[in-house]
Each structure stands twice: as structure tokens, then as C-alpha cells.
Structure 1
């Protein structure tokens, strides 16, 4: 099968760059073992030629385009005037400006050639932003699939409902446009891919006739090996890209509302926030007793191995959480919210305990205290979590499911 994969908003290497990049790279890596995969991607700042060549080795053909900033500048609409122009253009075309800003006539022309010259059997859009390059008429000539890492309408609405939006007025006014936009672009594709049942349900409300298949995220078990021992102690950890609004909200909620109560019971307790690009809101937390903000670290797995319990106190954000899967893979016991455990079966009748669920402050305190005090419980949750990842959430398994979607007639 000849696959044209579009990741026209970023560069998916190294896979540790982020959850979106990691998913794209690992699915690409799997598919290229069995098929001819051409990847269209953009160069970004600080990418080295060595990294370009490394990514090229995982593709049949790699086609790179200029960074988005250059593409926008070439339109001749930059600065404030450019923003206003793109906003009006987005309203007219019913496409969010955040999506429209990634459009490039150069990329569009190359995709048109691939379709007209019948150089691919299927076009795959990794993340919905790349849908801006898919013409409705493509569907009559080639199979089209979009891997919706997360519903843009659902994401914005979720942030608004929980008071986590950076620009609530703008997002509130944008919601009707986002609904119609998602409805329109879903109709262009032969099949849709979602990561969780919740996301699929939300997408079906928008596009009831859509063919939607679940393909969860996976974990690279070599990058996230199982811990060699339980370190004990009273150390807590939270991981994630710390420039993301949902992670900022989670870190502040736990640090300001939950951790002080933990410290009352365990004065020596520590809370380490691990992740790239911490903003001022997160950095300020590091000034509080017992809280450490690391920024980027060489190995997240090493930090997970050294901590007693991992918390995933997310209150907003849709989709299966890579941070949860990677933490489970390392064997660290997890206390997480419903949002942090979305898409996972971790408890209930007949289900081995794989993580402990908590949503309110008191529930977090009680769950963490249980794990601090009970080494056997930590071991049980640890082994069950790792076993779940090995059986259900490897990239090999995700790749197989993805491949089946692409092969369906």
C-alpha cells in the first residue's frame, strides 16, 4: 500500500518532542515496515540535519517544506494586519485561524500532484490540522483518513466549561464556528480515527454518519522500562509539557490545594513537576516548600523510577493521556482523575487495580496516603499497570489497529 502521510504543522522527530509528535512518529515507523510511506512535514526551529536524516530512515520518502513562519510571510500578510486578515479569511471559509495559518499553496500543489498522478492509495492526516489540505473531491479518487488526536470543538468547550481557557470570550464566540468546522471537515474523509470512546462519542454527535475507529496511544517500552525496585518514601511526581494549559491547571491545582494537605500528614513529602517549557505560573510553584520544578530533563523515566507515586490531576483536556501510559509502563503507582484516566479501564468489578482514581482534594489525599503506607498495594498497582501496557498499549498494537483502518475498503 502506498501511503501519503501529512503532518504539515510540525516535525515529528525526535518522538520525545511531545505527545502529538510521538504518536505520529511511532505510527509512521510501524506502517513503513510494511508499506511505502511518504511523509510530508515542515522544518521547524532547531532541527538538525542529523535529525532530518534519522527521520528519513523511517520513511520511504521524506518531503520537507519551509517552517510555518516563512510560509505565512510569503503570503505578504504579517503582523497585526496579517492576523486581522487571517481572522476574516477564517470566518469566510469557516476555518479557524489557527488551522488556516498552516495552509501553504506549495504543500497543496504537491498533494494535488500526488492525487492526480495516482502516486498514493491512501492519504492520512496526522492530527486534524492537516485536513486543510484535503479537497472534498479527493475522496472520489483516493482513500482519505484523519487521525483526530483530539476534537478541537470538544477541547475548547471542555476548557470553557472548567474555566481553564486562556481567552474565554474569544473561545466562547468561536464555539459555533468550531462545531461547523469539525462537522464539515469530518465529511471529507473516508474514515476517522479517535483515541478514546469519549472522543468518538463527541465526534459522532457532530458527525453521526462518520466511520470512526479507536486507535489508542502506545508506549515505547525501551524508553520507559519497568522499575528495578520500589524506592519507598513520600515523593510525588507529575509529568507533562508545562506550557500546555491543561497541565498548568493540573500542576497548580495539585500544588496549591492537594499538596499542602499531604504535607500536614507527611512533612518530608516532595512534589516534583517534570516537563519542558514551564511558564511563570509553574515556575512560581517551585518557590513553595517541598515543590521542585525541573524543566526539561534527560530522562523522564529516570525521574518516574525515583518517585513513590505519580499523580495525574488533570481537570481539562480530552483524549488518552500519553503521560498516564508512560507512567504505568515504568511501574510507578498512579493516582489520577477521570480525565487523566480517560480511555483506560483501571478499576471496577473483575478488573485488577491498575491505578487509583481521585477527583476531589480529599480523594487525592486518601489515595496517596494509602499508597505511602502500603508497600503491597504499591506493588499490586505497579505490576497491574505494567501488564496492561504490555498487553494493550504498545506502539506495535496501535500500529496494527491503524493499519487495519487503512486497509478497510
Structure 2
């Protein structure tokens, strides 16, 4: 098979956060189909230490340190009327790597992971383009604005990013969205939905890794008889911050009227100061980054995913389900997971009374909660494997779509 150029805005190693988990497994799947070249960015020392991992999977690679300060990217974006999120990832070295790779290697497919990397597709490239949008980022920025967060900036970002998303969808042979719901949302936002080819491609879960059987319990969550609630994720990400603060302010005070020593554990890297400052408030413990999230999940009485703004499939939910935990989540956090409310997880409206009610029912009926956890694990093992996702890649990067051949 001819060769593939894979472009990702974050290095796909280690697979330790939502977007990197997806890009990691997509890259592994593509590498099974033929030689892959990888252009990607790193920000931290850990990111930049991933060159051996890239060398082990890619024929060639460029791991470029991205150090452009956000204020500088914002100023450039304002002057050039571009989205900040594109300007932040604009880099001359990456342009040179792409041009050199396309000149020196028989690259038939460019696989673009995330909207930030679409700017690197040369205008004259005539091969196949697969654009993995994952979820509709422009809609996310609009939701931030509607929620009162930096209204002018987020409205502007949403508007300009929507133009770029539509441009890339027209440029691509196929645009991937993480769920049919996201695909429908995207169709509703383009001028001519028939002019773009969209396809849902969900996330998977490594159910062998997220298997509770061999995992030890987390001792700090085993003390006391009152319930332990766990929320996981990247804790400098705005939707996760908002969800954690909502739990602290709206749910935990009411829950502790019934369970005086109930605890809410926030587990995930890079918690912002506003969260760290709330350590101890209403039974909250902010852990920050931990070596392994699985013991925290295994020891939780409930896992919560109270996302008020959510796009795409939430890996944190799949991980908790694979660990056989009962999960209480909002409708947004359940998007793209074709499981049954009340059997595989418990969906609560994004309002305190509904969330509290679903939590308290499961806490009051531990056998029901355990049965939900067992059903959740069976669901992800049977329906949400990465093998199924990887199997779809052969078609996606195979024979060109008839529409592009005709053009």
C-alpha cells in the first residue's frame, strides 16, 4: 500500500488524555496498513521525550516544540482575522516537513487529526484527504460564549473556526465525527450539507487495560463508610473545571445532608488554581495527576461526569464503565455512547435536583449500583473496542471516493 502522512496537533504518546488516546489508536491502526509519516507538536518535556515512540511506529516523523505564547497567537489572529486556535499551531518548520515528505515519498493519503492541522494540507495536493474533526469545536466556543465565558472572544473564535471547519470538510474526501449526533450538528452548520461527506467514527476503549480484576484498591478511598464520588479528566480544560465547580457548589452540600462524610475526588492532571483552592470544601479532595487512575475508579462508589458543556464521546465515561463502575452523567457526557439509561449508566438532567436524585438512588441501592457497573463493563467489552475502530481505517484510506475521482 502507498504511504500515509498523519498530522496531529498533539503528539499521540503517551495516550493519557482524551484527544491523545484517540490519535494514538488511530495512528496505530494506520501503521498496520502501510508506512506512516507523522508530523506533530509537543509542549512539555514529557511530550518532547516521545521521539523514540514515534520512531518505533513511523517511517519518518517531525516532533516540533510548540512554544508560541497564547497572547502572541491572539494578537496575530486579530491582525490576520484568523481563529486563535489555528494561529497558535502555525509553524514554518511543520510546513517544511510536510512539503519535504510529500516530495520524497509516495504519500497517497493525508490523515488530518483535529482542525488545527488542516492548514498544512498544500493547495496542490491531489491525493486522498481524511479529516478527523472529532467534534465540532466551533460549537464548543459558541457554547462558552453563551455560558458567559469571554463572550466576545469565544463568539469570534466560534464564527471563524466554523468557516475553517466547513472549508476543510469541502477539501476532504471524508470528514470524521465522533458520533452521529456530532455529524448531524455539523450538517446543520454548513451551507450545503450534500457537498460534504461525513462519517461517524467513535472512540474505543482498551477493556483489557481498564479491567478491575487485577487492579488494587486506592486505600484513601476505602476509609470510612460514607460514599466516595470520583470525577476524572484534564483539570485545566474549561468544561471539566465547570463540571467540578458545579459538583462542589450544587451537589455536595445537599448530598452531605444525607451522607455527612461523603467525599468528592477530583482526579486529573493540571488542576487550575481555582480548583486547588477548593480542596477540602464540601468534602472535596483535589488529587491532581496520579500515576494510575484505575485504583481511584475501582474504589469509587460512584463515578460522575456532570459536564454542562460537552462535545463528542467522553473517554472518562468509557474508562469508568470498563472498570465496572456505576456512572451518573449528564446528557452531553452520554453523547455517542449507545448505552441504555438505567441499565448501563444513569443520565441526569444538567440541574442539581436531577443529578442529586440519580446519585442518591444508586447510593441507597448498592446491589443495583453493582449490577449497573457489571452491565457497563459488558457493554464496552462487547460494543466499544478499538479493534472495531481500527477496522474502519482500511476503507477510509483505501480506494479514493468516486466523487474525488470524478473531479
TM-score by length of structure 1 reads 0.88
Partner Cα separation in structure 2 for residue 159 and residue 19 of structure 1: 19
Does the aligned pair in 2 maintain the 1:197–1:214 contact within 8 Å?
Answer: yes
Per-residue deviation, 1:116: 4.5
1:107 alignment partner in structure 2: 94
Does the Cα contact within 8 Å between 2:4 and 2:110 map onto a contact in 1?
yes
| Alignment match of 1:60 (pick from 58, 61, 71) | 58
Task: Name 2:44's counterpart in structure 1.
Answer: 45
Matched-pair contact (CA < 8 Å) for 2:137–2:158: no
1:62 Cα deviation from its structure 2 partner: 3.6
The number of residues matched between the two structures is 388
Match of 2:379 in 1: 388
CA-CA distance at 1:50 after TM superposition: 6.0
Match of 1:154 in 2: 139
Is the counterpart of residue 300 in structure 1 residue 283 in structure 2? no
CA distance in 2 between counterparts of 1:322 and 1:81 reads: 32
Q: Structure 1's 237 and 85: CA in aligned 2 closer, same or farther, altered over 3 A?
A: closer
Measured against aligned partners, the alpha-carbon deviations of 1:340-371 in whole angstroms (never above 9, x if no partner) come to 111112326xxx71000112211222211121
Tell whether the 8 Å contact from 1:273 to 1:294 is kept in structure 2 after alignment. Answer: yes
**CA pair 374-197 structure 1, distance change in 2 beyond 3 A:** same
Match of 1:222 in 2: 208
* Cα pair distance change 1:342/1:64, threshold 3 Å: same
Q: CA deviation at 1:152?
A: 2.0
Offset of residue 243 of structure 1:
0.3
How far off is 1:390 after superposition?
0.9
Q: Please give the alpha-carbon distance, in whole angstroms, between the structure 1 residues aligned to 2:226 and 2:391.
A: 40
Query: Residue 136 of structure 1 contacts residue 188 of structure 1 at CA under 8 Å; is this kept in 2?
Result: no
- CA shift for structure 1 position 265: 0.8
In structure 2, the residue matched to 1:15 is: 15
Give the alignment partner of residue 122 of structure 2, picking from 122, 135, 138. 135
More displaced 10-residue stretch of structure 1: 237-246 or 393-402: 393-402
1:88 is matched with which residue?
Answer: 79
CA distance in 2 between partners of 1:355 and 1:402 (Å): 29
| Aligned equivalents of 1:107, 1:50: Cα separation in 2 | 18
The structure-2 alpha-carbon separation of the partners of 1:222 and 1:54, relative to structure 1 and needing over 3 Å to count, comes to farther
Q: CA deviation at 1:128?
A: 1.4
Query: Alpha carbons of 1:79 and 1:271: their partners in 2 closer, same or farther (altered >3 Å)?
Result: closer
What corresponds to 2:5 in structure 1?
Answer: 4
Q: Taking structure 1 as reference, are residues 82 and 19 closer, same or farther at Cα in structure 2, changes over 3 Å only?
A: closer
Corresponding residue for residue 75 of structure 1: none
Distance in 1 of aligned mates of 2:340 and 2:70: 51
**What pairs with 1:155-170 in structure 2 (closer than 5 Å)?**
155-163=140-148, 165=149, 167-170=150-153
CA distance, structure 1, for counterparts of residue 54 and residue 41 of structure 2: 12
Listed one character per residue, the Cα deviations across residues 203-234 of structure 1 (whole Å, up to 9, x for unaligned) are 11233121111111112223311357997851
Partner of 1:186 in structure 2?
169
- Cα-Cα RMSD: 2.3
1:319-330 correspondence runs (5 A): 319-330=312-323
Q: 1:168 to 1:113 in 2, by over 3 A?
A: same
Structure 2 counterpart SS, 1:10: coil
Distance 1:136 1:380 in 2: 54
Note closer, same or farther for the CA distance 1:133–1:402 as it changes in structure 2 (3 Å cut).
same
Equivalent in the alignment of 2:405: none
Give ranges in structure 2 of 5+ residues lacking alignment. 401-407
* Distance in structure 2 (CA, Å) of the matches to 1:83 and 1:255: 32
Match for residue 253 of structure 2 among 253, 260, 278 = 260
In the alignment, structure 1 residue 119 sits paired with structure 2 residue 110: no
Q: Which moved more, 1:32-41 or 1:227-236?
A: 227-236
2:345 to 355, 360, 373: 355
1:210 aligns with 2:201: no
Q: Is the 8 A contact 2:228 2:264 kept in 1?
A: yes
Q: Which residue of 2 aligns with 1:406?
A: 397
TM-superposed deviation, 1:201: 1.1
| CA spacing shift, 1:121–1:270, aligned 2, 3 Å | same
Q: CA deviation at 1:264?
A: 0.5
Which residue does the alignment assign to 1:336? Answer: 329
The 2-side partners of 1:85 and 1:213 are apart by 33
Contact residue 238 and residue 311 of structure 1 kept, 8 A: yes
